[in-house]
Structure 1
C-alpha cells in the first residue's frame, strides 16, 4: 500500500508546496489536490476524515442489511482540508454475489470521482444528458437529489452523478447489475453532521476498489 500522496487524476507523483509553486503540483496536470494514502477502515479513520472534510462525507444510512463500510479516500491536505472524499461500502448484491458502492463528493475539477468511474475527464458534465429525466434519485442529507447515468464508463460498473450541497456527487457501483440498489432512492447521510455516530458503522475489510486506479 502506497505511503505518499499522488495525483488524483493520474496517480503520478506530486511535489509539495514550496518555491516556486504554493500548491501541490503534478508534472502532467499542474496544481492538484493530492490524494492521500488510503488507510484501513475503522471508526477513528472515518471520524478523522469527516472532521477535515470541506465536502460531504456520504454514506448510505442506515446501511442495507449485511453491508459494511470498507474504506475511505480523500484528496486534499491538512491546510486546505479534504476537497474530495470517497467512501466505500459493500455487501450482498440485489441479484446475488457481492455488490460494492463508492460514493464520491468533490469540488469541481478535482478528478477523484472520474478516476474511480474510469473516465478521462475531471468532471461528469460532458458525460451527462441533463435534458433527460434523471435515472435515479437519492435523498442526500434529507434533500431530494437527482442522479443521471454517466456515459462512457467501463462495462463492469454503473456510474451515476449529480449535484448535492453545492458539489459533485458520484455513485459508482460494481458489478453493473448491482445498480438496482440505486433505484430504491437510498438515503445518504453526511457524516460531518451529528446524525450518525460513526462508532456504530460496521466495518469490513479494505475495498480493493479504493486502491485499484492507482495500483502500480
Structure 2
C-alpha cells in the first residue's frame, strides 16, 4: 500500500509515537471504507481483522505501530549479527562498549535513534526465547540454561576475582546444577 511506503525509512530508524501510528491507521481505515471528512460509513470488518495476514484470513494491511517495531527490530538484529559493519562499530563504541546490545543500557544523553532501537530489543528477546522453546526439548532447554548460568558465573569469577575457570569445570558445574534442579523439581508438588 502506498500510504505505508512513504514512512518506511523513518520507521526503520525512529520509533514513531503511538498517537501518530493511530492517526495513520485511522487515515488508512477511512480510505479503505471510502469515508470523506464529514460522513461516517459502516465498518463491516474491524481494523484488527484487516491487519491480519492473508494466509490467516485477513486482508493483510499493516498495523503501523507493529510495523514500526518490526522495522526497528530489524536494525537491532543487525547490531547483534553484523559485528563488522560500520553501524555496529559506531554504536558499540558509543552506547555499549563493554557489553552486547542485548545487555546494553540507555546510558546518559542517548540519541532518539538509540532509544528507538532499545524499544525494539524486547521484541528480539521474545523472539529468541520463543525460538529456543520451539527448537529445544524441555531437557535440552534446562541444560542450555544451566550451561549459560555456569558460563555467567565463570565470567564473574574472571571479572571480579581474576580467576579463570577451565571449560570442563564450567560443564561439570552445569551438570551439577541441572541435577540439583531436577531433584528439586521432583520434590516439589506439581500444580
**TM-score, L = length of structure 2:** 0.18
User: Which of 1 and 2 has higher RCO (CA within 8 Å, sep 6+)?
Assistant: 1
Q: Which has the higher helix share?
A: 2
Q: Which is strand-richer, 1 or 2?
A: 1
Answer with 1 or 2: which has the greater Rg.
Answer: 2
